[in-house]
Amino acid sequence: MYEKIKLLIGAVATIGLYSVLYRENKFYRFVEHMFLGLAAGYTLVAVWKETLKVQWWDRMVGTAGDAGSPGTPGFWAFMFLLPIGMMGYMVFNKKHNWMSRIPIGIILGFWSGQQVQIFWSKWGGQLFNSMKPLIPTGGAFVPSTDGLTPEQMAEVGRTVYVSQAVNNIIFTVTILSVLSYFFFSFELKNKFMLGMNKTGRWLLMIGLGAIFGSTVMARFALEIDRMSFIFVELVKALRT
Amino acid sequence: MSQPERNWVEKLSGAKPTTLYMLLIVVSAIFLFIKYQIPVKPDPESVDLYARLATLPKDRPVLVQSDWTNSSRGESAGQFEALMRILMDNEIKFVIYSAADPQAPQVARNVIRFINEERKAEGKAPYKVWENYLDCGYFPNAEGMGQAMKANLRNAFSNKKNRKPDGTDADIWESPVLAGVKSIKDIPLLVNVTASATIDVLIERLGGQVNLGLMCTGVMSPQMVPYYASGQLKGLSGGLKGVYDLEWMMNYGIRGDQVPNDPSLPNRAVCKSNSTIDVKPLQGTTFSRGASYYLSLHAALTLMILAVVAGNLSLISARIKARKG
Amino acid sequence: MQYYDKGWFGVLATVLVVGFILVMIQRAKRHEGNLFIRRIAGLNAIDEAIGRATEMGRPVVMVPGIGGLDAIAVQAINIFAKVCQTAARFATPIKLCCADPAVYAVAQETIRDVYQREGVIERFETDSVQFVSDRQFAFAAGVAGIIQREKVAAAFFLGAFFAESLIFAESANAMGAIQIAGSTQTTQTPFFVAACDYVLIGDEYYAASAYLTREPILIGSLLGQDYSKIFFAALITLGFITVSCERSFTKATGEFKEGKWVALEKERTKGPGDTFMSMWFNPQSIPEAESKVERPQREKNWWEEGGGDAAPAAGGGE
Amino acid sequence: MNLLALQWSFRPEDSTKWTYLIVAAIIGFAFMFALSRVPTRMRRVVVGTFTFLSGLFYVLLYIWPQPIDKKPLDIPQGPVESVGFLLQDMVPVVKDFTSILTAFLLGLGVYSLLRVHIGRVARRQRDWQYSGLLLLCMATMLTIGYWDFFMQSANKAVDYSDRANWTTAQYGFDLLFDGMLQQMDAAMFSIIAFFILSAAYRAFRIRSIEATIMLGTALILMLSLMGIASYFTDWLFVQKLAGGNANAFVGNFTLAEISNWIKNNFQVPSLRAMEFGIGIGALAMGLRIWLSLERGGVSA
């Protein structure tokens, strides 16, 4: 019985949200405000349950261990985070509203420092991966690896075949011309650079089109699942 | 605005979005009720995943990290169901746990219950907790969990109890499922069913320690295929197509490319990474959620393509008119 | 004590890029060098969009994405500050919807400040900058509702957007609003390109504040970014030339194994890991002999007694 | 952590800990009060210092030589290693500061929500009933959520993942969270499919070369997702034209191969180039924020 009610409520909520596809209406507004209310309530539960208790409170006061294990210590210095956080609330105070910038500044400072820290680990590997050999060292096509020994297969992996070299040239042209499209402060006058810029934009469109095409499956899958939820599962549950 | 008379091309290109939305609902719902198996050629990454799953040893458990919830049910549920059917039909033991979302274990439990009912209806023994699988629930910190599993599997899964057949609770390490398992190296495969970055954590923390298999959403799969290509993932099932690939192989089996073509099993997928593998079809439910959704996906994609074509017709006809006049 | 795990090359490259940016900022501050920026169509349309909203007497909606407080959100609010400056002059109603409390705090203060500086603080309503929800799809539902109920005439979606991008774009389109969008999430850019009138692609997003304000510091920074991109392009070019030559004309005679150079029995073709570029970019792991360091041991803290596998929540543990 | 002769940590059962905590809180708020007296011209400096110091931590973490083979009980040798050890030990603490501070700021968001909706109810503005509904749902979720949470943390021995042990609190929370909130999430997530369809229909037109290129690629990729289309091209090129030889040249023209080729040779490099720009842009902006070089806008 409980399951049935749960399914039914879920279905009504789904239909309510879907009704916005026709136009904004009272039913949608009803479900939307319920959604926002529930989400806000849940956030207030989760902020303590999943963030502040685990990351702050338990570490500040310590936790008693279960039988056998020693538990964890408390570090009172975590308390200093509280006044820093509270400074954020000064934003509505006309005189001291600048103080809200302190917690904000700390958050932004951490983020900025991390940009320096992660810069190379994020892009170094990608740069290296973009340095492709353009001169073929083997035959026209990658041969079939059926029945080869591991050494022979490793050799095939090291050889650059003509088809690969062609692909690598396409790859290199694409990455360089798209990169040149994002030069902002140079006035491009020479014909070669202008051509590069234009090619870059076109090649970029291929990339964007490919993302569009490959995301579609995931989005439709979710929609089909909703249809299945309403037309198959709910109907089945209500019948029994 | 006074509308002059519109010809059929203009009408096609000027349809209201609402019309399209209704069409999509109708089309995707109708095809849910039609059972038809679309012929496919499974992707090599899903063939590899299936080959791994079908050749697992029966004495060691598989770790299943189930990190999906209902918000990605459209793809993940089909994947998880297929995984459970494959493991259960091959009588492979497994340990299931979650590291991404506190809701994930409950969602997974519902699927196991439902598949057990299906097995009963097919006259097979249901899979029992303690004897055939273990349910370890939720671990709050995905990174910590990966780290802990690498360091010491026993500690990572310590203090977890499951119910024995006699109704008492006992530590999971006393269960026959984990017999013979000491470290992560004793695990033949870890499968992650996920809709989020938990697989990145696993690759970072457990790469090289254990074979990793992945079942992810269609949005993630283009980003994850490079890891399959580099061997960090032993197999991958991406999105709805991945689900259908698996169901196809469950129904028809797979063979290595050195194994002669058996004329009685013409639809077997060919596996390149394991050239002597010879897997017969599974007994039991094979085509289910993936098959019914996949047909609807075809319908929806066709609708999408037709819509784009229709949208462009007026543009083309206007250009032709302009050229003539 | 060493750079083994990062590699000297990575540190050098980071320092170079940081250097380009800082030096160019310094130069621009002294008004040296060129201060040209190429045209960015999306940004020229801002005034047009606000003008239309003013004419129709309908609000402008702004969404700084659903990410947390970082430079992406700050940049969005910087652009919105510029939008609000114009909106404040023409008394065009605005709606700024936030999905993160910290972003909300910044937006609230910045936008109020804009109205203050324009001398029309009475036109600013505190509730026009509002927090909607920090749950992705609740936020999407809420903003879609606001867009449709308020019948917005112009919409700005700038920031970190994920799957919800199309919900906003199509809702605003249904209202006939002019939409200007930009996201640093490359996976969402195609959806904005398809659905919106003007789109900032890639790091046009980061160039926007320089373009709008023409502040020397920002333009200098942009110039530094361009030099960094040239540096990247040069690295790639150097890379494909050397990699091609090495793999075509030389043979591998040895390889690194666990941080040590081991000679091969037989020469073989060079693979991707045998080039000298690879040694720059993929620093070797520490040799076994050097990877173990014995140091004097301190006493255990009480919480480290016993198994000690459970790292304490703060300090100490690895 | 015993850097100074001060007791930084205590046992959870220690009775002195509350004294410590209260004193810490008083010191903290006194510091906050002192800050509020800072003269106007120094304010930028104060904010800039906080920002700089927090950024400095990660920058140092990157450029400071990393100690090799650091074990939990090791004592550092020499000043360089001491700093290295300290930085490493601080990571697990510092990495959570952002989420803790953001969590503290959540109250601002809630304040904004309450302000808007209570205001609407109090002034009986248009749609005030819906605002009332929102507040009601929020209160219900809050109550039941904490009821369930406290019940679960008080009875650690009870296995609440087993439905047999559920009470009203668990059923209520499950209904609100799993039955409603999650279903609404899924509904909103899946609504995107409709918008993709209408956006494609409306905007995917061959107006310009660029639009045509994007449209064409998207169409090929969409076709490749349809098993039936891939199956057909596989049948045509591999089975018919190449006589079943999977390695033949024409085998490269199956949809699956073409879509992979597009992804590997166009999608990857073009997006990578775009990401390079974005990465450098983020670094530049990070530097400007870290060193307080931004003026105007947010940093006015």
**Secondary structure, 3-state, chain D:** CCCCCCCCEECCCCCCHHHHHHHHHHHHHHHHHHHHCCCHHHHHHHHHHHHHHHHHHHHHHHHCCECCCCCCCECCCHHHHHHHHHHHHHHHHHCCHHHHHHHHHHHHHHHHHHHHHHHHHHCCCCCHHHHHHHHHHHHHHHHHHHHHHHHHHHCCCCCCCCHHHCCHHHHHHHHHHHHHHHHHHHHHHHHHHHHHHHHHHHHCCCCCHHHHHHHHHHHHHHHHHCHHHHHHHHHHHHHHHCCCCCCCHHHHHCHHHHHHHHHHHHHHHHHHHHHHHHHHHHHHHHHHHHCCCCCCHHHC
| Long-range CB pairs of A155-164, under 8 A, 24+ apart, other chains included | A155/C268, A155/C269, A157/C271, A158/C247, A158/C268, A158/C269, A158/C270, A158/C271, A158/C272, A159/C269, A160/A133, A160/A135, A160/A136, A160/C247, A160/C248, A161/A136, A162/A136, A162/A138, A164/A136
Q: Which range marks the domain in which residue A173 is found?
A: 134-240
Q: Which residue has the tokens 């600013």?
A: C124
Query: HSE on the CB side for D184, CA within 13 Å?
Result: 28
CB contact under 8 A, D109 and C140: no
| Residue B96 near residue B121, CB atoms below 8 Å | no
Domain boundary among A31, A50, A74: A74
Q: Give B238's contacts in chain D (Cβ within 8 Å).
A: none
Size of interface A-C (CB pairs under 8 A): 214
Distance from CA of B32 to the nearest CA of A (A): 7
CA atoms of A79 and D4, how far apart (whole Å): 18
CB contact under 8 A, B152 and C174: no
Distance from CA of B176 to the nearest CA of D (A): 22
CA atoms of B103 and B67, how far apart (whole Å): 9
Count of other CB atoms within 10 angstroms of residue B306: 13
For residue A188, count CB atoms less than 10 angstroms from its CB and return exposed for 0-12, middle for 13-18, buried for 19 or more: middle
Choosing among B240, B244, B245, B302, which should be mutated to test the A contact, i.e. which has the most A CBs within 10 A?
Answer: B240
| pLDDT given for residue B120 in this prediction | 92
The verdict on A224 and A179 lying in the same domain is yes
Show which subunits contact C, needing at least 3 CB pairs below 8 angstroms: A, B, D
Look at residues D158, A231, A3 and name the one whose alpha carbon lies nearest to residue B110. A3
The verdict on A37 and A88 lying in the same domain is no
Q: Which range marks the domain in which residue C115 is found?
A: 41-213
Domain count, chain C: 1
pLDDT tens digits for A148-194? 777 777 788 888 999 899 999 999 999 999 999 999 988 878 899 89
Comparing A71-80, A201-210, C62-71, the range with the smallest average pLDDT is: A71-80
At D131, phi and psi to the nearest 5?
A: -60, -40
Distance from CA of D37 to the nearest CA of C (A): 20
The verdict on A5 and A60 lying in the same domain is yes
Residue in A closest to C211 by C-alpha: A184
The verdict on A82 and A144 lying in the same domain is no
CB contact under 8 A, B41 and D256: yes
Residues of chain C with pLDDT under 70: 1-6, 32-34, 258-259, 284-289, 305-318
A13 pLDDT more than 50: yes
The verdict on A101 and A26 lying in the same domain is no
pTM of the model: 0.91
Between strands B254-256 and B278-279, the pairing is antiparallel
Average pLDDT over residues A201-220: 91
CB contact under 8 A, C74 and A175: no
CA atoms of D215 and D234, how far apart (whole Å): 23
| pLDDT given for residue C144 in this prediction | 96
Is C130 strand, coil or helix? strand
CB contact under 8 A, B312 and D196: no
pLDDT tens digits for B148-202? 888 788 888 877 788 888 878 888 898 999 988 988 989 999 999 998 888 888 8
| Residue A85 near residue C105, CB atoms below 8 Å | no
Tokens of A48: 């303590």
Q: Which residue has the tokens 């964890």?
A: A72
| pLDDT given for residue C275 in this prediction | 87
The verdict on A146 and A165 lying in the same domain is yes
CB contact under 8 A, A113 and D58: yes
Digit-by-digit pLDDT tens for chain D (300 residues) are 445 556 778 888 888 888 889 999 999 999 999 999 999 889 989 999 999 999 999 999 888 888 877 787 888 888 888 998 899 888 888 888 998 999 999 999 999 999 999 999 999 998 999 999 999 999 999 999 999 999 988 887 777 767 778 899 999 999 999 899 989 999 999 999 999 999 999 888 888 899 999 999 999 999 988 888 888 888 888 778 877 666 677 777 888 889 889 988 999 899 899 999 999 999 999 999 999 988 655 654
CA atoms of A40 and A35, how far apart (whole Å): 9
Q: Give B148's contacts in chain C (Cβ within 8 Å).
A: 309
| Residue A103 near residue A118, CB atoms below 8 Å | no
CA atoms of D272 and A207, how far apart (whole Å): 10
Distance from CA of D161 to the nearest CA of C (A): 24
pLDDT tens digits for B110-149? 899 989 999 999 999 999 999 999 998 888 777 778 878 8
Chain Cα centroid distance, residue A79:
32
Look at residues D222, B295, D230, B314 and name the one whose alpha carbon lies nearest to residue C190. D222
- Ramachandran area for residue A12 (φ above 0: left; ψ -120 to 50: alpha; else beta): alpha
The verdict on A90 and A175 lying in the same domain is no
Show which subunits contact A, needing at least 3 CB pairs below 8 angstroms: B, C, D
Q: Which residues make beta-bridge pairs with B254?
A: B269, B279
Distance from CA of A69 to the nearest CA of D (A): 13
All structural domains of chain D with their residue ranges: 17-92, 101-199, 204-299
Residue in C closest to D280 by C-alpha: C225
| pLDDT given for residue C318 in this prediction | 29
Average pLDDT over residues A62-75: 72
Q: Give C307's contacts in chain B (Cβ within 8 Å).
A: 155
Distance from CA of A188 to the nearest CA of B (A): 33
Chain A within 8 Å of B74 (Cβ-Cβ)?
yes
Chain A within 8 Å of B21 (Cβ-Cβ)?
yes
Q: Give C184's contacts in chain D (Cβ within 8 Å).
A: 278, 282
Residues of chain B with pLDDT under 70: 1-6, 325
CB contact under 8 A, C135 and A43: yes
Count of other CB atoms within 10 angstroms of residue A118: 16
Distance from CA of B160 to the nearest CA of D (A): 11
User: Considering the domain boundaries, does residue C187 fall inside one?
Assistant: yes
**Which ipTM score applies to this complex?**
0.91
| Residue B277 near residue B270, CB atoms below 8 Å | no
CB contact under 8 A, C195 and D81: no
| pLDDT given for residue C153 in this prediction | 96
Chain C within 8 Å of A36 (Cβ-Cβ)?
yes
Q: Which residue has the tokens 């621009």?
A: C28
For residue A47, count CB atoms less than 10 angstroms from its CB and return exposed for 0-12, middle for 13-18, buried for 19 or more: buried
Chain Cα centroid distance, residue A187:
35
Q: What angle do CA B90, B95, B97 make, to 5 degrees?
A: 135
Residue in A closest to C8 by C-alpha: A120
Residue among A78, A131, A158 minimizing CB distance to C236: A131
Count of other CB atoms within 10 angstroms of residue D168: 11
| pLDDT given for residue C309 in this prediction | 43
User: Considering the domain boundaries, does residue C35 fall inside one?
Assistant: no
| Residue B81 near residue B244, CB atoms below 8 Å | no
Domain count, chain A: 3
